[in-house]
Each structure stands twice: as C-alpha cells, then as structure tokens.
Amino acid sequence: MADQEKFAPVQLASRRVPIITTAQRNTLRPELLEVIEYRKSGLSVNHIVGCPLDCGYCIRHVFDNFQMKVPRALMTDTDAATMLFEHPYFQPHLTPIQLLNRATDPMLPPVKPHTFEMLRLLDQRRLTNHVLVITRWRIEPEDCAILNSFNNIRLTVLVTHSGIDDDRIEPVDSNIAAASLRTAFAHAKRYRVILYWRPIVPVLNDTDEHFQRAFELSHHAHATVFTGLFYKDQIRDYYQAHGLPEPYLEGARRKVFPEDLETRILAAAAEYGTGSPLFRKTSCAVTYAHGVADYNGHYGIRELCDICPVAQINRCAKAWVRPDAARVAALAEQLGGSLVEINDRAVVVADLSEQPRYLMQHSLGYQVHDVNKPHHRNRHGRADLGWPTIKETL
Ligand code: SF4
C-alpha cells in the first residue's frame, strides 16, 4: 500500500515527460548530458533523466542524480533518435541498442510513450539491430500489443527482479516485476523476455527460498540472467550515509559476484530445475532468446559457456572467428589506441577507453580487453571481491 501511495503521482501522469528547464539542466553532471553512451550491451540512449523508484543501488548515485525523482527529457525523441543514427559508432543492423537504461525506468507511465516512440522510430527505418529495454516497473497486456507491433528490430524486454525485501534498499515491491514478467512472457510474439535476476547479494537475497522463487519465475522467460551488484564507491557512500547493511568491505569497478554464491546458485538450479536456461552474461541470454550467436564474443571466455544450451554453444562456435590482426590493428589505431595482441580469448588493446573498445568488440564479435585491466580466468569479468584472497564482511 505504501508502495502504491508513493508512486501514485507518477502512475497518474498521462502526459509525456516535459523538456528539462535550463535551471534543471545546469544541476546535471556533464556525463548525464551525454545522451548516447557505448556500454557493454550496446549503444545506450538516455535522453530522459529522473526516477522515483529509489533503489538503493541505483547507478544514478554515480552521477549525483539520485535525488531527481521526476523524469525530465533532455531533448525530443526525434532528436534523440537522430543523434543515435548519426553517432559515429552506430552501425545499422549490427550495433546493439539499449533504451533509457541509465537514468530512468523506460516503463514508468510518463516515460513509456517515449520508449514506444523510440522503438517505432528504429523499426520504421527497417533496422534489425538488437534493442534492449530493461524495466522493473509494470507491463500491461496493452503494452505487449505495442511491443509485438514492431517488425524489424530484435526487441528484448528484460525484467529486473531481485527478490530483495529490505525496503530500505529496494522499496519497490518485487511482485510488480514478477507480474510484469508473467504478462510480458504470456503475450510475447515478436519480442523476447528475459528474467533479469539481479542484484543477487549475500544475506539480502541469497537463501534457498530466494533461489527457488527465481527458478519458478524463470518459467516465464525465454532466458534468465543472474548477476551481482555494482558496488561502486558512490553507492557504498550512500549505504554508509543511510546506515544500510554493507554487503562488502570495498567498492569495486566491476559487478561483484562472489564465487561461493555462484556455486550455490548453480547447485540449486541443478537440484530444483529452471524453466529457462541460466546465463552469466546479459548478451548471452539476449542472443540465445533470439536464436543467434552472442554479439560480445563471450565464446572466447570458454568457461562462461559451461551452463549454456548445446544448440547455442554451436551457434556461437560457428560465429566466433579469430579476427585478422591487420584489420584489428588498423581499427585500434583509427580509434586512437593500439593492438597489443590477439589471443585465444580476446583482442588486447592499449590506450582505448571503454566506448571504443565496445565498438571494436561488437564489430568483431570477439572480446576486446584493456591491457591494463586484465580479466582473470574463471572470474567472468567480475570484480575481485568474493574470489580467493579477497575479504568480505558477510
Ligand atoms: S555459448 Fe558461450 S558465448 Fe555463446 S551464448 Fe552461450 S555462454 Fe554465451
């Protein structure tokens, strides 16, 4: 009930998100004004900023934006779509796209019309790119009818469900996401549905009951991703300032997912069974759901694939080709960096930030790592926390 009261103003808003005022714009950090950002799962379009859902682990802490509860648009949908199409890293039919996943929830009532309009603008160009929409809010049957209406884009709806019931950390009732998942899956024709089981955090939501609940929900998805918590320093500061139970002693640049937690989840999955297969990586689940090979080249990190269905392993094996060194060196140089080596797992480069590395990764279908940020074998690109020699508080 408290939940309903809290979100009533947003639910009742039938109008679209207003364009931000100059005064409001001036309060935003410059990073938030960069509407297009290349992230691992694709080029991310974020022209709406602000969210009332108050998840304690929200990435907006990192941008000093957590207090902005009412969504505001930085520009029109048409301008945002044009910016995407004209982005130097955008490649028709190839670049994965994520909509409104950094600073708001794309299914909040005032935001939803913009999400649908962006999908329409992409689809009407006959683009076949993957498009990811990640939400923890409500999906109704009439939304599904719209989501089914797109003919060209490869659309995936990822429904975030953690099962965390400490409402100091996650005030939104997890049952909302559970209901959305069931609805989205029941009506899916042209789009695919992923159970985005995250963040899984020791003590908060890692009991056998939590696992069984997630496995039960996995029957209502084409694939399930399980993953940990981004425990960046700014999020840790928020936990400390609000007296929230700290899951780890340190902040981390990558997602935290202790080895023991993963072992327990996989053992429980083997014991109880799941409805849809489990994946460690978002793009693996998305591509499996559409019956195509992983666009991030995770197949090179072979230990990631030990839980993947055989048909999908075969797809990825067929598509995964060690790239030509001359081509990679030229690409790295063109982007301002250099090729260090190409090995059996990844291309290793120097002097390239994340965004050009992701451009290379998606262009090559092969992992691209920074020589100064090594990925450890069997750790799946996650933070060091929770792996041997690293201490935890819980
Ligand atoms: S085979 Fe490996 S890379 Fe491909 S989807 Fe499965 S886990 Fe991911």
Whole-angstrom Cα Rg for the chain:
20
Tens digit of pLDDT for each residue in 36-48? 999 888 999 999 9
Ligand 1 shell residues, CB under 6 Å: 281, 284, 287-288, 294, 298-299, 304-305, 308, 312-313, 316
Q: Within a 10 A sphere around the Cβ of 253, how many other Cβ atoms?
A: 12
Kindly report the pTM of this predicted structure: 0.90
Query: Domain 2-315, what fold?
Result: TIM Barrel (3.20.20)
Distance 195 CA to ligand 1 centre (A): 17
Span 253-273, mean pLDDT?
89
Span 237-252, mean pLDDT?
70
Q: Is the pLDDT confidence value at 393 over 60?
A: no
Q: Which atom of ligand 1 is nearest to the CA of 308?
A: 6
Rounded to whole angstroms, what are the CA distances from 259 to 141, 285, 316? Answer: 39, 20, 25
Residue 169 banded pLDDT, cuts 50, 70, 90: confident
Residue 237 banded pLDDT, cuts 50, 70, 90: confident
Q: Is the pLDDT confidence value at 228 over 80?
A: yes
Span 89-98, mean pLDDT?
98
Tens digit of pLDDT for each residue in 126-167? 999 999 999 999 999 999 999 999 999 999 999 999 998 888
CA distance 281 to 228: 11
Q: Closest Cα to atom 4, ligand 1: which residue?
A: 316
Q: Closest Cα to atom 3, ligand 1: which residue?
A: 299
Segments in the chain forming alpha helices (H)? 2-12, 22-26, 30-33, 77-85, 112-123, 141-147, 174-187, 208-217, 233-241, 259-272, 282-290, 310-319, 325-334, 354-364
Residue 55 banded pLDDT, cuts 50, 70, 90: confident
